[in-house]
Every structure is written in C-alpha cells, then in structure tokens.
C-alpha cells in the first residue's frame, strides 16, 4: 500500500513538473511568434519607405593599382558583399557604375579578394567598427 502511494505521489509530481514546463514553454513560444511578426511588419514598412525615398542615380567608382587581379566594391548598398559588384578592368584602372538611392553610402574596395581599401580619391571618410575608415559617397 505504501509503495502504491509513493508511486502515485512521484507520478503526480512528475506530471505537475511536465505540465508547468509545457505551459511556460507555450507562453514563450507565443511571445516569440508575436515578436517575429512585429519584426516582419517593420521590415515591410522599411522597404516601402525605401522604395518611396526617391529615384536612384548612377554613381561611378574607379580604383587604380598595379599588380591587381580583381577589384570589387562593397558597402552599405550591397550589405558589404564582395561578390555583388565586381569591377571591370581597363588597363590599371578598375571601373564600375552603380545605381544608388539618395543618401549617404559607406563603401570600400576589395582588392585581390582580400584587401579592404578605402577609396584614395574620396575625401569624405567615416570611422568603422574595425578601427579603420570607410569612404562615403552622398547621392542627392
């Protein structure tokens, strides 16, 4: 009889612990879903705002250097992706024209797929999170 009571008591405690854990977990999952939905709504609003912010304008970029095998441009306009905008070679000069939205855009050149270089021809720079500087172009 006592062993039956002990077994029932353990089962009751185990069931309660599982039930409380399940309820708490469900509450948190609902909160995460709501936060995720709110983030999606904010992202959609930001995209709509960006689309309404004005027409894009063409901006030309140039990099000149010797012993260079490849150059691409990275920046806030392409999420710093070095594969997005490779530049075309014309002798020792590398060129690319991009359509950018109005505003200030930070950028750098990626030379030979490894060296991230600030544009030597650009007078405006800003400090970045890598204790370096990024070039800045303003599109009006």
DSSP-assigned beta bridge partners for residue 138: 104
Would the pLDDT of 67 be above 70?
Answer: yes
Question: Rounded distance, CA 33 to CA 115, Å?
Answer: 41
Write down the pLDDT at residue 64: 94
Three-state SS for 125?
A: strand
For 13-51, letters b (16+ CB in 10 Å) and e give eeeeeeeeeeeeeeeeeeeeeeeeeeeeeeeeeeeeeee
Check pLDDT > 80 for residue 88.
Answer: yes
Highest mean pLDDT among 19-23, 48-52, 101-105: 101-105
Q: How many CB atoms lie within 10 A of CB 136?
A: 18
Three-class SS of 36-54: HHHHHHHHHHHHHHHHHCC
- Read off the pTM: 0.61
The dihedral region occupied by 67, where left means phi > 0, alpha psi between -120 and 50, and beta the remainder, is left
Give 74 or 38, the one with higher predicted confidence.
Answer: 74
């Amino acid at each position: 009889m006592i062993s039956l009571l002990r077994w029932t008591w353990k089962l009751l405690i185990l069931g309660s612990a599982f039930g409380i854990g399940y309820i708490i977990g469900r509450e948190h999952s609902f909160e995460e879903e709501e936060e995720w939905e709110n983030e999606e709504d904010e992202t959609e609003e930001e995209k709509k705002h960006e689309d309404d912010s004005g027409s894009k304008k063409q901006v030309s970029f140039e990099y000149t250097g010797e012993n260079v095998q490849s150059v691409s441009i990275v920046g806030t306009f392409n999420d710093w992706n070095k594969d997005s905008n490779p530049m075309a070679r014309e002798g020792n000069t590398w060129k690319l024209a991009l359509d950018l939205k109005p505003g200030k855009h930070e950028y750098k050149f990626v030379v030979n797929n490894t060296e991230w270089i600030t544009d030597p021809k650009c007078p405006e720079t800003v400090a970045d999170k890598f204790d370096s500087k990024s070039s800045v172009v303003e599109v009006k």
